[in-house]
Amino acid sequence: MIPAPFEYEAAESAGHALELLARHGEDAKLLAGGHSLLPMMKLRLAFPSVVIDIGRVGELAGIRADGDDLLIGATTCHADVAASDLVRSQAPLLAYAAAQVGDPQIRHRGTIGGSVAHADPAADLPMALVALGGSLEISGPGGPRTVSADDFFAGFFETSLEPDELLTAVRVPRRPGPDWGYQKFVRRANDWAIVGVAVAGGRIALANMGPVPVRAVAAEQALAGGASVADAAALAAEGTDPAEDIHADRAYRQHLARILTRRALEHQTG
Amino acid sequence: MQIELTVNGAPRSDEVEPRLLLVHYLRQRCGLRAANVGCDTTSCGACTVLVNGRSVKSCTMLAVQAAGQEITTAEGLATGGEMHPVQQAFRQEHGLQCGFCTPGMVMAAAGLLAENPHPTEAEVREGLEGNFCRCTGYHNIVRAVLSAAEEMSA
């Protein structure tokens, strides 16, 4: 499969990428690792007339501490997030989630910003960022802005990014403790989560239980009120309306959400 | 557009269409046919090559993204007429049946051992998660990678 023809522009800096976005508008798509965009272009589900490659913009990659947070450049690949001593010690849930994406080859190319901007509700990193209470750093013609992960995901494969904006970095609070858990239910190696659960310090996020990564609010509130893990987990699917597909119907996904939430809460480890 | 890159140690400069996939560039333009197009959907790993030493599925990368990078295919693993230890081990341990997945397996294994020179069996299996052998010859493949790891650290 070969993508439809497009014009290729290699951005030299974040500012240059913004200029190119301003020039080409909605006809353009940003390319970093290409592991979400290229498969869609090959299937002709996406056919941008201009592709702006930000994969070699050095200032958009890298991991550093920033006060109480970690700041991870948008084009940092999953393998680098997973292997980073800083992330492993300061945000172990995020390191673990990055190591669950796809397979080693995919983790060498796919980027944290790409995964987040693609906003697949079954993906690992959007769910992990919601559980961690992370936020997204965005640059645009109006200057920079920061959006919480809770507000960033707007719908099925839809975010609050505007066509002329660039996701520059992912910000997560440092959370070095062992109070996190992660569960992903798949049928085969490499698969997307049929349901996923990420837990961090009382916040519970679910993957593939709706059009966006959702919080299991009823379960969180029960936990905060002193309920047992089993009683809280029993509420994990409250208010969810997961899609049905060949892998699972609604009731089965809700069942999985409850079971996986219990396991994630029980196995909160470092 | 014009790209300059290194393929198996040799510098190259080629005019390519932006939509040309790296695997097609390697096979059609460079005449390097070790990397196979299997699933064409980033799943099977038959097209695995090394980009700056790291394993990558070349069906999901544009040739233009490879500009300025060092690409290694299975053809480039041997040095001075000597097979790479991973290649030798695949031969020794009979780590292949039909052979279609083999170049990708070998490159994924070479990339894995570069990152983790002393993997456990479980780490080898997880490290090859992105490579499918439809003959299901996994046992010998894993044995070959473990044997190569031993050989390379000897």
Token digits of residue A130: 């919601």
**Which residues of chain B does A109 touch, with a Cβ-Cβ cutoff of 8 Å?**
51, 56-57, 60-61
pLDDT exceeds 50 at position A47:
yes
Mutate to test the interface with B, among A105, A106, A108, A187 (most CBs of B within 10 A): A105
Residue A203 belongs to domain with CATH number = 3.30.390.50
Last residue of a domain, one of A34, A53, A72: A53
Element spanning A181, H or E: strand A180-185
Is there a domain that residue A1 lies in? no
Question: pLDDT band at A270, cuts 50/70/90?
Answer: very low
Burial class (CB in 10 A: 0-12, 13-18, 19+), A32: buried
pTM of the model: 0.96
**Across the interface, which of B1, B21, B129 has its CB nearest the CB of A104?**
B129
A222 and A115: one domain? Answer: no
A156 and A112: one domain? Answer: yes
Question: pLDDT band at A237, cuts 50/70/90?
Answer: very high
Q: What is the pLDDT of residue B89?
A: 98
Hey, is A60 helix, strand or coil? helix
Give me the total of CB pairs closer than 8 Å, taking one residue from chain A and one from chain B: 80
Is there a domain that residue A270 lies in? no
The CA radius of gyration of chain A, in Å to the nearest whole number, is 18
How many whole angstroms separate alpha carbon A177 and alpha carbon A93?
A: 10
- Asked if B42 and A104 come within 8 Å (Cβ–Cβ), the reply is no
Token digits of residue A69: 């947070």
Q: How many domains does chain A have?
A: 3
Find the residue in B nearest to A8 (Cα).
B18
Q: Chain B interface residues facing chain A, Cβ-Cβ under 8 Å?
A: 1, 17-19, 21, 24, 40-43, 45, 48, 51, 54-57, 60-62, 64-65, 67-68, 108, 111-112, 127, 129-131
B36-73 confidence digits (pLDDT tens): 999 999 999 999 999 999 999 999 999 999 999 999 99
> Which residue segments constitute the domains of chain B, with CATH numbers given?
2-74 (3.10.20.30), 85-153 (1.10.150.120)
Is there a domain that residue A259 lies in? yes
User: Are the C-beta atoms of residues B22 and B58 closer than 8 Å to each other?
Assistant: yes
Is there a domain that residue A147 lies in? yes
A19 and A119: one domain? Answer: no
DSSP A97-119: HHHTSS-HHHHHH-BHHHHHHHT
A130 and A23: one domain? Answer: no
Write out the residue range of the structural domain in which residue A13 sits: 7-53
A54-104 confidence digits (pLDDT tens): 999 999 999 999 999 999 999 999 999 999 999 999 999 999 999 999 999
Burial class (CB in 10 A: 0-12, 13-18, 19+), A51: buried
Token digits of residue A216: 């299991």
Question: pLDDT band at A39, cuts 50/70/90?
Answer: very high
What interface predicted TM-score (ipTM) does this complex get? 0.97
A74 and A162: one domain? Answer: yes
How many whole angstroms separate alpha carbon A53 and alpha carbon A196?
A: 31
Mean pLDDT of B133-146: 97
Last residue of a domain, one of A173, A194, A227: A173
Q: Which has the closest alpha carbon to B50: B97, B124, B111, B126?
A: B111
How many whole angstroms separate alpha carbon A196 and alpha carbon B14?
A: 44
Hey, is B130 helix, strand or coil? coil
Q: Which has the closest alpha carbon to A178: A64, A99, A112, A265?
A: A265
Token digits of residue A190: 């490499």
Question: pLDDT band at A268, cuts 50/70/90?
Answer: confident
Residue A38 belongs to domain with CATH number = 3.30.43.10
Last residue of a domain, one of A150, A173, A196: A173
How many whole angstroms separate alpha carbon B53 and alpha carbon A104?
A: 13
Distance from CA of A113 to the nearest CA of B (A): 17
Task: Measure CA B11 to chain center.
Answer: 19
A18-33 confidence digits (pLDDT tens): 999 999 989 999 999 9
User: Are the C-beta atoms of residues A97 and A117 closer than 8 Å to each other?
Assistant: no
Q: Which has the closest alpha carbon to B24: A119, A42, A90?
A: A42
Is there a domain that residue A2 lies in? no
A126-140 confidence digits (pLDDT tens): 999 999 999 999 999
User: Are the C-beta atoms of residues A189 and A103 closer than 8 Å to each other?
Assistant: yes
A128 and A225: one domain? Answer: no
A164-221 confidence digits (pLDDT tens): 999 999 999 999 988 999 999 998 878 899 999 999 989 999 999 999 999 999 999 9
